C-alpha cells in the first residue's frame, strides 16, 4: 500500500499525484489523502480529510506553530484534530509501506511517528526554517521535480544530500507528442498568446490584461483560469496553439508549458517561502531555457517582449521536462516501499 498526501492549495499538487499512477505496476494499491474532494478520474481509494485551513494564515491564532516547530497546528482546532486522527486510523488499518507527501511538514511528521517511511516532494524557495528542517530531515527520500543541473532552486536542502533525487519536472501531459512549432498564424496574420492564471491565486487584473491586449494588435490573448478567465480541465490544445505562453511560476504550470514545448513569459506570484520568485530566478539565471522572466505583469513593452519570446526555441524545455519525471518518481517510491516490505 502506498499513501499519497495531496496539499489542498491550487490544482498543481493533485494533478501531480495523478501523474504518478500510470507508472506504478498493475495492482499497486494507492490511497490519496487530502482535504480536496476525490479528483475526477482518480481510479483508486481516496480519503477526504477535514480541512484545517479555515483560518487566515496571516492572522494566526495563539501558538498556531507550536513555538515555531510546525507551520500550522492551531490549538483546539477540530479540523486539525480530525484530519490527523483520520490519517492515524488509515495507517493502522492499511499498514502502508510508504507515504508520499506533497507537501506538509505536519503530515510527514505524523506518518514517520507511526513508523511509516516518507518520500517528500520538495518545493522551491527558502526551506531553511525550523519546520522544514524537521519535516525534510525525517524523510527517507527528498524528490526534486526539476533537473539537477539547474542551480539555486531551493535553500535548505544540501545539494549533496544522499537522500536527494532530482527526477525532473513532470506533468499529466507527459507522453503526449508536442507539436514542434506553433500552428500557423490566422489569415489576418495574428499570433496567439495564452495566459495561465491557475487556481492558486493571481495578481493579474482585468485592467492590466486589457492594456496588454490593446498594445499588441497582432496578438490574440486567451486567459485560462483565475476569476476572469475560462477554466479548462485539459489546456493541452490551447497550449499547443500558443506562440507564447504567459504563466506564473508554479511547478505544475511550468511542467505543462515545458511538456508542450512552448516559449514562455514567466511572472512569479507571491507565495510563502518565496517559492515562485526563487523558481523564476533560477530559470532566468540558467540562461538555457526558453523563458523571459518578468517580476510583474508589465504595463507596457508587450510587443517587444512577445516578439522576442516567440523567437525562442521551445524544444529547449526538454532539459526541464523530458517526459520521464513521473517514471523516476515511481521508481523512488517503489524502492522505498520495497525496502520496507523486504
| Distance, CA of 48 to CA of 5 (rounded, Å) | 10
Q: What is the CATH number of domain 191-319?
A: 3.40.50.2000
Q: What is the pLDDT of residue 340?
A: 64
Q: What is the pLDDT of residue 342?
A: 47
The packing angle between helices 251-260 and 12-20, to 10°, is 60
pLDDT one-digit tens code per residue, 202-256 = 678 889 999 999 999 999 999 998 767 888 889 999 999 999 999 999 999 999 9
The pTM of this model reads: 0.93
Q: Please give the share of the chain, as a percent, with pLDDT higher than 90.
A: 83
Q: What are phi and psi of 234, to 5 degrees?
A: -130, 95
Give Dmax over CA atoms of the chain in angstroms: 65
CATH H-level, domain 2-170+324-341: superfamily: Glycogen Phosphorylase B; (3.40.50.2000)
Q: What is the pLDDT of residue 320?
A: 98
Question: For the chain, what are the domain ranges?
Answer: 2-170+324-341, 191-319
> Around Cβ 86, how many Cβ atoms within 10 Å?
15
Mean pLDDT of 160-177: 96
Q: Please give the share of the chain, as a percent, with pLDDT higher than 70.
A: 93
Lowest mean pLDDT segment, chosen from 135-139, 163-167, 336-340: 336-340
pLDDT one-digit tens code per residue, 5-63 = 999 877 778 999 999 999 999 999 999 999 999 999 999 999 999 998 765 555 667 78
pLDDT one-digit tens code per residue, 255-284 = 999 999 999 999 999 999 999 999 999 999
Q: What are phi and psi of 126, to 5 degrees?
A: -90, 105
Q: What is the pLDDT of residue 94?
A: 98
Amino acid at each position: 500500500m502506498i499513501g499519497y498526501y495531496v496539499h489542498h492549495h491550487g490544482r498543481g499538487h493533485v494533478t501531480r499525484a495523478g501523474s504518478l499512477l500510470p507508472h506504478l505496476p498493475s495492482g499497486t494499491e494507492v490511497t490519496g489523502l487530502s482535504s480536496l474532494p476525490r479528483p475526477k478520474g482518480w481510479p483508486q481509494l481516496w480519503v477526504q480529510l477535514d480541512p484545517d485551513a479555515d483560518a487566515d494564515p496571516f492572522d494566526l491564532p495563539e501558538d498556531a506553530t507550536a513555538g515555531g516547530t510546525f507551520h500550522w497546528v492551531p490549538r483546539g482546532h477540530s479540523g486539525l484534530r480530525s484530519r490527523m486522527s483520520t490519517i492515524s486510523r488509515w495507517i493502522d488499518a492499511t499498514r502502508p509501506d510508504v507515504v508520499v507527501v506533497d507537501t506538509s511538514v505536519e503530515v510527514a511528521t505524523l506518518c514517520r511517528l507511526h513508523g511509516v517511511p516518507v518520500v517528500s516532494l520538495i518545493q522551491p524557495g527558502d526551506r531553511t526554517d525550523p519546520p522544514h528542517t524537521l519535516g525534510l530531515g525525517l524523510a527517507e527520500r527528498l524528490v526534486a521535480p526539476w533537473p539537477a543541473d539547474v542551480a539555486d532552486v531551493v535553500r535548505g536542502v544540501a545539494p549533496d544530500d544522499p537522500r536527494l533525487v532530482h527526477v525532473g519536472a513532470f506533468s499529466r501531459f507527459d507522453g503526449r507528442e508536442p507539436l514542434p512549432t506553433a500552428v500557423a498564424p490566422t489569415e489576418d496574420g495574428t499570433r496567439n498568446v495564452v495566459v495561465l492564471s491557475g487556481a492558486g491565486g493571481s495578481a493579474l487584473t482585468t485592467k492590466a490584461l486589457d492594456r496588454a491586449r490593446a498594445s499588441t494588435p497582432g496578438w490574440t490573448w486567451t486567459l485560462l483560469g483565475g476569476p476572469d478567465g475560462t477554466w479548462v480541465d485539459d489546456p493541452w490544445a490551447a497550449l499547443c496553439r500558443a506562440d507564447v505562453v504567459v504563466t506564473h511560476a508554479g511547478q505544475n504550470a511550468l511542467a505543462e508549458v515545458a511538456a508542450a514545448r512552448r516559449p514562455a513569459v514567466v511572472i512569479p506570484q507571491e507565495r510563502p517561502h518565496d517559492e515562485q520568485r526563487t523558481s523564476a530566478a533560477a530559470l532566468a539565471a540558467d540562461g538555457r531555457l526558453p523563458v523571459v522572466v518578468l517580476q510583474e505583469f508589465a504595463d507596457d513593452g508587450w510587443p517587444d517582449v512577445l516578439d522576442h519570446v516567440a523567437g525562442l526555441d521551445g524544444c529547449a524545455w526538454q532539459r526541464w521536462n523530458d517526459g520521464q519525471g513521473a517514471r523516476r518518481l515511481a521508481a523512488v517510491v517503489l524502492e522505498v516501499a520495497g525496502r520496507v516490505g523486504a
